[in-house]
Structure 1
Amino acid sequence: MGSKKLSKKQQRLEKITQEAAEQSQRSFLPNVTLLANEKDLSSVFFTV
Structure 2
Amino acid sequence: MPFSLAEDDAELCMALVTRSEERNMRILNYLNLAALTAQDPKGEPD
Q: Same fold (TM over 0.5)?
A: no
* TM class by smaller structure: 0.3 to 0.5
Q: Which has the higher helix share?
A: 1
Q: Considering only CA atoms, is the larger Rg found in Structure 1 or Structure 2? A: 2
TM-score, L = length of structure 1: 0.36
Greater relative contact order, per chain length (Cα 8 Å cut-off, separation 6+): 1
